[in-house]
Amino acid sequence: MTDLFETDRLRARRITADDFDVMYATYSDPIGARWVDDGQPISAEDCRRWIDITLSNYTTRGYGMSALCLRADGPAGRSGGEAVVGFIGLVHPGGQPEPELKYALRRPYWGRGLATEAAAGMLAYGARALGLTRIIATVAEPHHASRRVLEKAGMTHDATRPEGNGVPTLVYGWRLL
């Protein structure tokens, strides 16, 4: 498995097809899925498709979604037995030109600062390893916890997009200075 970056508590690595069960559990949780895409839990079929797209993105773009693992699991975890606490990555939804930071943690790991740690790590990785100078993130206006994560990770609110459902989407930006 290819490690992308480490933080004090986390290791990010490329996802594999073996991550299906935990990815499906993360994104099919109706409470966690409330703020992802259309707010609906992901289907098993869409989860498999997302993993396939991510594996393709590694080849075409050099990056995509990745699994977040607790570093406390140590080297033995690298063989596939680690505790995956969530997912983070850089994606281009709908073919948008700018890379967009996306992340989700399994509910037992919410409220521990792991999302902020992971987001900051992914931004630094994007600059250092991928040469990216601008990364965006989008968040529904009422999702205050995610807004705090992005701000603490060093992103700033750049724009607001009106949405058909009446809930504005905030666009956050990060730029390498």
Is residue 6 within 8 A of residue 124, CB to CB? The reply is: no
Is residue 158 within 8 A of residue 134, CB to CB? The reply is: no
Which residues, at least 6 apart from 57, have a Cβ–Cβ distance to it below 8 Å?
A: 63, 64, 65, 91
The residue ranking higher by pLDDT, 27 or 163, is 27
User: What pLDDT digit, counting tens, does each position of 40-50 carry?
Assistant: 788 999 999 99
- Position 1 scores a pLDDT of 55
Amino acid making up residue 33: A
Which residues, at least 6 apart from 157, have a Cβ–Cβ distance to it below 8 Å?
A: 147, 151, 170, 171, 172
Overall domain count for the chain: 1
- Position 80 scores a pLDDT of 47
- Position 77 scores a pLDDT of 41
Residues facing 161 on adjacent strands: 169
Which residues, at least 6 apart from 37, have a Cβ–Cβ distance to it below 8 Å?
A: none
Average pLDDT, the chain: 89
User: What pLDDT digit, counting tens, does each position of 110-155 carry?
Assistant: 999 999 999 999 999 999 999 999 999 999 888 899 999 999 999 9
Cα–Cα distance for residue pair 137/158, rounded to 1 Å: 10
Q: Which range (68-77, 93-102, 103-112, 141-150) has the least confidence?
A: 68-77
- Position 38 scores a pLDDT of 67
Go through the chain and tell me how many residues it has.
Answer: 177
Residue of 124, 133, 68 whose CA lies nearest to 99: 133
Residue with tokens 């299906």: 20
Cα–Cα distance for residue pair 137/171, rounded to 1 Å: 6
Cα–Cα distance for residue pair 66/102, rounded to 1 Å: 10
What's 58's domain CATH number? 3.40.630.30
Question: Torsion angle of alpha carbons 53, 54, 58, 64, nearest 10°?
Answer: 130
> Band of the pLDDT at 160, cuts 50, 70, 90?
very high
Residue with tokens 């609110």: 157
pLDDT tops 80 at residue 72: no
Q: Which range (18-22, 33-37, 59-63) has the least confidence?
A: 33-37
Q: Which domain holds residue 97?
A: 3-175
The residue ranking higher by pLDDT, 82 or 143, is 143
pLDDT tops 70 at residue 92: yes
